[in-house]
Structure 1
Amino acid sequence: MVGMVFLSEGIQKFLFPAIRGAGRFEKIGLPSPEFLGSFVGTFEIVCGILILIGFLTRLASIPLIIIMLVAIATTKSEVLAEKGFWEMMHGSRTDWAMLLGSIFLLIKGAGLWSVDKTLTKNGA
Structure 2
Amino acid sequence: MSDPPRRNLFGWITDTKAPAAAILIRLIVGTVFLSEGIQKFLFPAEIGAGRFAKIGLPSPEVLAPFVGVVEISCGALVLLGLATRLAAAPLIGVMLVAIATTKVPILVNRGFWAMAHESRTDWSMLLGALFLLLVGAGPLSLDARLARREASQRPR
- Normalising by the smaller structure, the TM-score range is over 0.9
Which structure would you say has the larger Rg? 2
Aligned residues: 124
Match among 66, 69, 72 for residue 93 of structure 2: 66
1:111 to partner: Cα distance = 1.5
Partner of 1:109 in structure 2?
A: 136
Distance 1:43 1:82 in 2: 30
More relative contact order in 1 or in 2 (CA 8 Å, sep 6+)? 2
Partner of 1:96: 123
State the Cα distance separating 1:21 from its structure 2 match.
Answer: 0.4
Q: Can you give the 5+ residue segments of structure 2 that lack an aligned partner in the other structure?
A: 1-27, 152-156
The answer to whether structure 1 residue 9 and structure 2 residue 36 are counterparts is yes
Superposition TM-score, scaled by structure 2 size:
0.78
Aligned match of 1:87: 114
Q: Which amino acid aligns with 1:96?
A: W
Amino acid at match of 1:114: S
Structure 1 ranges of 4+ moved more than 6 A: none
CA RMSD of aligned residues (A): 0.8
Per-residue deviation, 1:78: 1.3
Q: For residues 131 and 103 of structure 2, what CA distance do their matches in structure 1 show?
A: 22
Name the one with the larger helix percent.
Answer: 1
Work out whether 1:75 is the aligned partner of 2:131. no
Structure-to-structure mapping, 1:13-52, within 5 angstroms: 13-52=40-79
CA distance in 2, matches of 1:37, 1:87: 26
Q: Match of 1:120?
A: 147
Which residue is equivalent to 1:55?
A: 82
Instruction: Report the CA distance between 1:113 and its aligned residue.
Output: 1.3
When the two structures are superposed, what TM-score results if normalisation uses the length of structure 1? Answer: 0.98
Within 2, Cα distance between the matches of 1:78 and 1:5?
A: 23
1:9 aligned partner, one-letter code: E
**C-alpha separation in 2, matches of 1:55 and 1:78:** 35
